[in-house]
Amino acid sequence: MARRFRGYEITNEMLGQGGMAFIYKGVQTALNRPVAVKMLNPALGLNERFIVRFEREARSQAQLHHPNVVAVFDYGREDDTYYIVMELVEGSDLKSLFSTHKKLPLEISLIILEQIAIGLEAAHALNIVHRDLKPSNILLSKVGDVKIADFGLAMDSRDREEMSAEAITMPGTVIGTLAYMSPEQHEGKRVDARADQFALGIMAYELLTGERPFMGTESEVRERTLRAQPAPIPDRCPLATPEIEEFVYRLLAKHPEERYASMRDVVMAIRDSLESIDPTGTLMKYRQEHLREFMLDAKAVTKNLKERSIEGHFEKGMSLVREPGRTAEAIRELRYVLILDPGNKEAKAKLSELEKQDHTQVVEPKAADAPRLDYSSRRESYTPRPGSGVRPPSGPVASSKSGPNWKLFAMIGIPVVVLAVLAAVILPRLGGSSQAEVFVSTPQEAVQVEVRQAGASAWTAAGSARGLLNQPLDAGSWEIRLRKEGCRDSAMGGGAR
């Protein structure tokens, strides 16, 4: 029997329930607008602690007028019932999607993650930390919108006294959903926005591989979250690129300071990852349409994306064949085709021809090969920062030749060493800046290497150029980014930003 109060009609259709509340479908009668009405469990209605938490959820969520956050329309009390009136999202949640699709297409997974990260960026801009990010709190509409829900455990990151004796959570109390909690949450420490990054990393790993990185009993999950390494992503997601591995491993860093500085950086890393799997250059442009179509017909979109990817990588590989000095890249593209379509005769024949020309043995594509596909001039593998507690991806780097290339090493290494000496000995006196750029000429192309270290002068940073020869940098808080640039030999300090 429908219930009416304060301009709303609540049906008996339950949309969901949790430990604190029940959610029903309803209608705002004055506007004839469908709504979702969340009601605090009557058993908790006399507990001030839960009433405060429920009200905080309404207030936090109501501040966020953003397409990637479920909108809140109203909050109040009717008799002994506390309620929140929210936007009704017709569709599914991410948890339900996992139950019907153990693994989503790589493109769809990244598009969903980007939308979640954008919503979190909006929340963090208002100093709101979600603290309970998980698949059941991510809603996907039938038209392809991704929305974050349930801010019941949200906190204001500016309020350092929030964990007081009268607050909802006491110091040392573990709060959140066990499987998606950050190490600092497991240890009952104070948290900030970077705890949401870790939860996003858990969901990213789950989307890409079909399972969470830390499984087991409650005690095992806690122990593994604090100390264990996730299984290498390539073992379970052979199509993941280095860009994808890098952003997921960094989100899952054990220490908050080893994660991204902000959710804006996470959004950009996800977009880099999208571009790395997009040989046609159209995925970014039409990603919202792809997600909308996937929600309507997942099977057809999955098939279409796979066919487009096979065609795109094959065409890119054949195009690279015609460019001098890019045989290795062409080989990698064709190997990618064969991972997607092992029976592709054209790709297999061309790959065999190229590998013979390159004096290499023809091998069948393996899962470990795919993550090493190089879509840019960036480093081919990700080396976690010291103390991050993250294991780098294992397996060989895709290469057309075996053994060290001493000629190339000498041609690159000598200029780098010279630049390092100049930077470390002659130029430190210049100081006063926070970044450095080093350009090194190579026989084929040049890469621009941007090295940053908080609180260090540009030339001190440049002095660590020796670490660019695929060696891990031994300083803390480093960020390395490589991009293709024109050839020139120079070392120069950028102004502080």
Beta strands 128-129 and 155-156, pairing class: antiparallel
Interatomic CA distance for residues 316 and 313, integer angstroms: 5
Question: What CA–CA distance (Å, rounded) separates 233 from 162?
Answer: 37
Q: Which residues pair with 92 in a beta bridge?
A: 140
Bridge partners for 72 per DSSP: 86
Tally Cβ neighbours within 10 Å of residue 350.
19
Q: Is 278 a catalytic residue?
A: no
Q: 408, 442 in Cβ contact below 8 A?
A: yes
* Catalytic residue (choose from 132, 145, 150, 369): 132
Place of tokens 């300083």: 475
In three-state secondary structure terms, 378 is coil
What are φ and ψ of residue 492, in 5° steps? -145, 150
Residue among 168, 146, 152 at smallest CA distance from 61: 152
The structure tokens listed for 86 are 């929210």
d(CA 436, CA 451): 6
Chain length of the chain? 497
Q: Distance between CA atoms of 289 and 255, rounded to whole angstroms?
A: 37
Q: Are 430 and 493 in contact (CB under 8 A)?
A: yes
Residue 434: strand, helix, or coil:
coil
With a CB cutoff of 8 Å and minimum separation 6, the contacts of 299 are none
- Long-range residue pairs from 14-18, CB within 8 A, at least 24 positions apart, any chain: 16/93, 16/136, 18/150
Q: What region does 336 belong to: left with phi over 0, alpha with psi -120 to 50, or beta?
A: alpha
Which stretches within 179-297 are classed as H helix?
Answer: 183-186, 194-209, 218-227, 233-236, 242-251, 263-276, 287-296
Sign of CA dihedral 240, 243, 244, 248: positive
Distances 164 to 169, 186, 238, 368 between C-alpha atoms, Å: 8, 19, 47, 49
Alpha-carbon gap, residue 55 to 329, rounded angstroms: 56
Q: How far, rounded to the nearest angstrom, does the alpha carbon of residue 199 sit from its chain's CA centroid?
A: 10
Q: What letters, b where the CB count within 10 A reaches 16 and e where it falls short, cover 85-122?
A: bbbbbebbbbeebbeebebbbbbbbbbbbbbbbbbbbb
For the annotated catalytic residues, the residue numbers are 132
